[in-house]
Amino acid sequence: MKNLIKGRNRSRLLSSVMLVIFTVVNIAAHVLNGGFERTYMDDLLAVPMIYFTIKIIYTEEIKFLPEIIFAVKAALKGFKYLSQLGMPIVDNINLSEVMKDVIPYAEATFYCFVGMVGLHCGRILFKILRRTYDHRSRQRRRLMIAELTCIMLAVSTAAGYVMWEDNAIWVSHYSYKSEKISSALDGFKIVQVSDLHNKSFGADSVFLIRKIEDERPDMIVVTGDLVDRNRTDIDIALEFIRNAVQIAPVYYVTGNHEEDLSLPKFYRLINGIEEAGGVVLDSEFAVISRSEGIIYRGDDSVDFDEASILENSPDDIFALIGLADKNLFRSKINYITPHWDNLNILLAHQPQGVENYTTEPVDLIFSGHAHGGQFRLPLIGAVYAPGQGFYPKYTEGVYRVNGASMVVSRGLGNSVFPIRINNRPELVVAELKSGT
């Protein structure tokens, strides 16, 4: 035991303990997700796990790690260049297809290189603290071990909190009351799924699907960014739609991440949603009956025969308007909004366009995009949201703008920032109530 806490062996022991902690944290992240598909924790912990592994096995050689990383990075860039040329390799396998799976992990490792710099700084600080103690004193050694244990517990607790914040779904319930809602439509429940960004809550998103099932919705609306442009997986998105349509009708509008996809991926997603049973509202509106489903669908309100619809339809109808992300800040909203006395519900991905949306008689808006500000600080609130900058105005909850109510979801997944702070993923449930 004495040999383990001396010199090089002490460093190896500490590295082993830290590697075990990181491994436990990573496994816990997979367990919370209900499976062992790739998660953000794999990216976040890639560098420290590599670092401590090398530290255990190659204690002396680790000083050459920067040179090794530079060489590996240069080689990967060369492979990436060759893959872009579509260079074939053994057995007619195209290198570009192989590198699609390799490059994201490699890039995540290099992007986390700053984490290794932090580890080096921490190691230096630990050495300074260690030298301040008299190692001949058993009491001092015990104090050091106690402090190290406290640090490990603090790191583990922080990691656990981050995982919980990133995976524990919060369900928000809202009621929308209006005289435009008939008694036949009273109690109609809408579940909003927004900004999933290819995140899978368990195998086939089983935990998310269960949450939706528990709410017994009449309709599910998906307000954009079902996939992520940086790590697009169409199959995960379509599997969620296939499961969701078994619960209630699904209506979908695009977000900015879908609009940024290549055309083949974009049309594979859109066609796949339709084939799975979802309805893609591409800057168009549909008149929906609670009892009969879609009874009218079009992209020009001028052609909308309101009298005929009202005469031949039950008293449980409303208009659902889907504004594609590419048209959020254009005049398209003026052509697809029915001017009638019934309820108009709008699906629009980005909340900062609400001034444009409310130039038309929309009553209830479902939006997302802001990710709740990603990091929410006590007494301050949201820190940053795309399209709104620092201290954004529209990040979560309900806002009243020009007579309309806008529900902004915090979303379920992440994109640029891999973690959330004080901002759990959110499933929105809105219930329609008749009255004034």
Q: What is the pLDDT of residue 5?
A: 42
pLDDT bracket for residue 380 (50, 70, 90): confident
**Pick from 130-144, 268-282, 314-328: least confident:** 130-144
Q: What is the pLDDT of residue 421?
A: 84
139 or 337, which is more confident: 337
Instruction: Please name every residue paired with 431 in a beta bridge, in sequence order, or none if there are none.
Output: 175, 189
* pLDDT, tens digit, 9 for 90 and up, residues 87-129: 444 333 444 444 444 444 444 454 455 555 556 666 666 665 6
14 or 273, which is more confident: 273
Q: What is the pLDDT of residue 383?
A: 84
86 or 435, which is more confident: 435
Q: What is the pLDDT of residue 2?
A: 42
Strands (E), 79-214: 170-178, 189-193
Burial bucket for residue 400 (CB in 10 Å: 0-12, 13-18, 19+): exposed
Q: Which CATH class is domain 170-434?
A: alpha beta
Cβ distance 428 to 212 under 8 Å? no
**Pick from 10-24, 172-186, 305-319, 349-363: least confident:** 10-24
CA dihedral 47, 48, 50, 55 (to 10 degrees): 140
31 or 422, which is more confident: 422
Contacts of 1 (CB under 8 A, 6+ apart): none
Cα–Cα distance list, 15 to 66, 216, 246 (Å): 19, 49, 49
* pLDDT, tens digit, 9 for 90 and up, residues 223-268: 999 999 888 889 999 999 999 999 999 999 999 999 989 999 999 9
**3-class SS at 272?**
helix
Instruction: Please name every residue paired with 432 in a beta bridge, in sequence order, or none if there are none.
Output: 176
pLDDT bracket for residue 139 (50, 70, 90): low
**Pick from 19-23, 37-41, 329-333: least confident:** 37-41
Q: Phi/psi class of residue 297: alpha, beta or left (left: φ > 0; alpha: ψ in -120 to 50)?
A: beta
**C-alpha span between 185 and 197 (Å, rounded):** 32
Buried b (16+ CB within 10 A) or exposed e, 306-341: eeebeeebeebbbbbbbbbbebbbeebbebbbbebe
pLDDT bracket for residue 161 (50, 70, 90): confident
Domain assignments of the chain as residue spans, ordered by start: 3-167, 170-434
pTM of this prediction? 0.69
Q: What is the pLDDT of residue 142?
A: 67
* pLDDT, tens digit, 9 for 90 and up, residues 181-217: 999 999 999 999 999 999 888 878 888 999 999 999 9
